[in-house]
Amino acid sequence: MRSPTSVDMKSEIRTIGFDDSPHTRADGRVPVVGVHMRGASQVEGILATDVQRDGSDATAQVARCVREAGLRGTKAILLDGASFAGFNVVDLDGLAEETGTPCIAFTKGEPDYAAMRRALQNVPDPEAKWALISGRRTLRLPTATSPLVVSYAGDVDPQQVAAILAATTARGLVPEPLRVAHLVASVLR
């Protein structure tokens, strides 16, 4: 028997994609939008929360947002990148555990880990944040243009991660829940 967080793939898998709004170094709290979708075509809900710029509350805020939304059947949480609001790094393992849902952090192109490590020196608790980033399970998916680099946590394997991304991407490289979350978040400045 599979655990409750394992992913059963369907073409219309339900996922939630989260992205943050544009922000500046002067911003204190930054809006984060979640879009609950079925497959790559049907929006079923919009969620909103906020996180502290360069803070450490992203994991708790996203988990609370997911729990309070009461959306049923969510098989994966997709995140745009490793962190929100600068370097408010999401603990993928913690988020998967708190929500009971596998989590996938999506990055188009190869992350510049050296630059990330240097930038972390300018924010609170850099070593703990680096540990969250560097300790993730990571998968590189080649494409015709630029590679996709995804980190993942929870009861999901690399084949399921690739299948989730394929099922939620209509065209191009970005999964629709993340693309729509980005569009909505971009107007919340």
pLDDT band at residue 8 under the 50/70/90 scheme: low
- For residue 3, the model assigns a pLDDT of 41
pLDDT band at residue 2 under the 50/70/90 scheme: very low
d(CA 35, CA 62): 12
- For residue 144, the model assigns a pLDDT of 86
- For residue 7, the model assigns a pLDDT of 54
Distance of CA 141 to the CA centre of its chain: 16
Q: What is the pTM of this model?
A: 0.92
Q: What is the mean pLDDT of the chain?
A: 92
**Stretch 126-147: mean pLDDT:** 93
Q: Which two tokens stand for residue 21?
A: 């709004």
Q: Which of 109, 170, 172, 188 is nearest to 142 (CA)?
A: 109
- For residue 117, the model assigns a pLDDT of 94
Q: Which of 9-13, 85-89, 105-109, 163-167 has the lowest mean pLDDT?
A: 9-13
| 80-127: pLDDT as tens digits | 998 999 999 999 999 999 999 999 999 998 899 999 999 999 999 999
Q: Which of 99, 108, 107 is nearest to 36 (CA)?
A: 99
**Stretch 160-185: mean pLDDT:** 95
Q: What domains can be seen in the chain, in order of their start residue? A: 14-185 (3.30.2170.10)
- For residue 26, the model assigns a pLDDT of 86
Q: Which of 127, 139, 47 is nearest to 87 (CA)?
A: 127
- For residue 1, the model assigns a pLDDT of 32
**Stretch 22-35: mean pLDDT:** 93
